[in-house]
Structure 1
Amino acid sequence: MQKLAILVTRLSSWVLSKMGRGGSMPGRLGIKIAPDCLNHLKFGGPVILVTGTNGKTSTANMVSDLMEEAGYKVVTNRKGDNLRVGITSTLLSHCSLSGRVKADAAVLEVDELNMKYIVPALPVTAIVVNNFFRDQLDRAGEMERIIDTIESVLPDYQGDLILNGNDPNVVRLAMAAPNARKIYFGAAKNASTVEHSAEAAEGKFCPKCGSRLEYDFYQYSHIGQFHCSSCDFATPKLDVCPDEIDLDAHTFRYDGHVYPMASDGLYSLYNCAAVLAAARSAGVDPKLAEKVFARAERPAGRNERFEKAGRDCILNLVKNPTGANEVMKVIEKDPAKKTIVIVLNDNAQDGRDISWIYDTVFEKLMDDSTEEIICTGTRAWDMALRIYYGGFTGKIRPEESMEAAVHEALQAPHVYAVATYTALLPTRNTIVKEMGL
C-alpha cells in the first residue's frame, strides 16, 4: 500500500502541476491509501520542523535557503501547505517508490495543531518554535491547547529544540523534552524595547508554579526578558542573541558580524535569530545567512509595496492581535498623509471569532496623518464600529464591496491596506488591477 500511496500522490501532483494548480489533494489521497505513509519514509539528512503562531512561513523559507547555501538539496513546503495533508503531498511527491526522499535535507513548516501527526512520524532532528499567541480561537482554542498538543510529542523527542528564549510559553516546552538538546534564541534591548507594556499578553503567569511573571523589559506583546516572582523559571541563557539592532537601517550584529534584516519590524528580527539558531543546530556557517536575509522574498502581503505613477499602496496580512499590533507600529511610524483600508473577513480560515480586533491597538492609526479609514470585508460594519469606539475623528467609511473599497482608497496617493487571511489574495489582486500593474 505504501508504494501505491506514493505513486498516486506523485501522479496526482504531476497532473495538478500541468493544470497550473497545487494544493493538498495528492496528500489526502496518499493518506487515504496508506494512513501511516509518512512513518516509512527514508531520509538522508536533517529533518527540520518550523512551528509557532507568527513567522512560520518566512522562517521556514529562510532556513531552506540557508541549507541550500550550505550545499544541501532541500525538500520543503515553501508555499506554506503546513497541515498533515500538505506535508504528505510535499514529501511523497519528492520520493522514490521505495520511500526514499530525494533530498539531503527536509525543512517543513508545520501548523501547531498538526505537530502531533508529524513529529512521531518523521526522524526529526530539529524543531524551531518561533512564538505562541492567541490565534483563530474557534479553530485552535485558547493558546494552552496548542502548547499542550506540542508538549504531548516531546517526552521521547531526542533532537534539537530551538526555542524563542524571550517567550515564556515557548521556553516551557523545554520542561516537556528531557532528552532534547535546547538551543535558545532571542534579541538584545534596542530602541523599541520598553519597560512596561499595555499590549495583549499571554505571558503573565509562570508555567512552572503559577505565580506572576515579572519582566525586566518587553520587546513586543509578552516577548521580552522575564523571571518568575516565586521560582527559578526565567529567560534562559540565550545561545543566539542579536545586538546593536538598528530598526531604521534594518541591520543587527551577531557574533561580531553585521547582518541585514529580512524585513521591517522586530518580528522579522526574531525570524532571523531563529534562522541563525537553526544554523547552529545544523553545523552550518551562520555567515551564509547574510545572503539569505539580503535576498529574502517577502511573502505576499507582508509589508508588500505597490507603486505606479506617483501612487503607492502597502499591503499587510493581519490575523491576531500581536501580529496586527506590529503592523500598526509600522504604519504609525509613517508621518505622511495616508488613507487606510481594512478588510476584515470571518471565514473559517480567518476564524469566526473576531473579538481579537478589540485586543489590537488600532488607535496607533488614529492620528492627524490618517485622513480616512475605509472598512470592508464580511465584517465591515464591526470593523467600522471598532474604529469609531477607538475615537478616530477622521472619516470612517464602511463599504461592503471590497473592490469598491480598494478603488476608493486608491484615489489617494498613499495607501495602507490591511487584510485578514481569506481577504489577502482578493485584496492583492484588486490592488494590482486598480493600479494597472
Structure 2
Amino acid sequence: MPVWLREYSWRQTPSLVYLAVPGQGGRRLLGRPDIFCAERYLKVSAPPFLFEAFLWAPVDEARSTARLQDGAAFFTLRKKEAALWESLLAEEVDKEKMQRIREDAVLKAHQRAKEETEAKAVRKRERSKCALEATMKLEEAERKRIEELKEAERMKATEEIEKWKKENEKQKKLQGKGRFHPMGEQHEKSEMRSSGRGASRAASRRLGVGSSGNMFSEKLQEELAPAPRRAGSIQLSFTPRVFPTALRESRVSEEEEWLQRQAEARRAINADLAELEDLSEEEKNPDWLKEKGNKMFATGNFLAAVGAYNLAIRINNKLPTLYLNRAACHLRLRNLHKAIEDSSKALDLLTPPVPDNAQARVKAHVRRGTAFCELELYTEGLQDYIAALKIEPKNKNIEEDAEKIRRIIQETE
C-alpha cells in the first residue's frame, strides 16, 4: 500500500504558485519520482510515497516546473488566470469528480504526447528530406565534375589525334617530294643529270637504291608494312597439385588423407552419375519419384517409399518435401534418429519462414517433436510442439498433444 503524503507548504502570487512536498516522518523522496501535472491535477509518485492534489484553479502545465532538492519536491505552477486562490486544493470534490479529473488529465496527457510524437516525426522527415536533397546536390555536383573531367580528357585526346594526323600528312608530303620532282625542275636539271647519269647509276647499284632514286623512302615503306605473323602452336602442360607449404611445415599424413578423401568423393560422384544414366526419363524426375513414394506410403510399404525418396534426394537434394516425407516413413519404421535428422534438414531448407511454407514447417516441427518424445526426450519434443503452435495457434490437435507432453514432464519431475 502507498504512503499518502498529507503535509505540504505553499504560497502564491497573482500569477504563480510555489508548492513544497516533503517526505513523511523525516524520510526523503529518493530516486527520480514520477511527476504528473495537468490543469487541475497534480500527482507525485516516489514509492512508497504518493501525493495527489486537485487544484483550486487551472494552471499552465507546459510552463510549470518541478525539481527535487534535499529529499523534497518543489513546484512552480503558473496560473492560467492571474488571481489569488482561496486555497491550494479544490473544495467539495467527490470520488466521481476526482476520477473524472484523473481520466481527463491522463487523456489530455496522452493526446499531448501523441501530438509531440507526430511533430517529432514530421521534423525528422523534414530533416531526412533536407539531408537527401543535400546529398543529391553533392552527387549532382560530383557528377558534373566527373563529366567535366571526362570532357576535358576527350578534348585533349581529340587534339592529340588531330595533331598526329597533321604530322602524318606532313610526313607524307615530305616523302612525296623526295620521290617525285616537278616537270620544271626536271627540265632545268636535265643537262646536269645527263652528265652524271652513268656515275649515279653505278653508285645506286653499290648503295642498293631502287629505280625511284630515294633509298630512305623505300626503307620507310618497308617499315610501314610489316610482314604477316607466322602461324604456330604452343604446347601446354599442367603440373599436379602440390601443397604450397614447405615440407618442414606441412603435415604429410593429413595432406595424404585429404587427397584420399577427395579421390573417394570423385569416385562416388562418378558412380552415382553412372548409375543415374541407366535410369529411365521418368525415374530421373524427382516429382515422379515423390508421387511414387507417396503411393507406396499410402499402401503401407514404407521401405519402398524410403527407397523412392532416397533416389529423388540424390537427384535433387534441395526439396524440403522429400525430407519431410522420408521423416514420416522413418517414424513408421521406428528409425527415430533418422526422422529427427530429416526433419531438421527440411527446416533448414524451409528458410526464410514465409506464409507459403508455414504448413510444411508445422509438419517438420511435429514430426521431429514426435521422434524426440518416442526417444523419451520430452523437453526437446515440447519445444518443437510449441514452435508448431506459434505457427498455427488455433490447431487443437497440436495443443492437446503439447498439453499431454507437459503432464508427462510434470509427472516425471
TM-score, length basis structure 2: 0.18
State the structure with bigger RCO (CA 8 A, min sep 6), 1 or 2: 1
Structure of greater Rg: 2
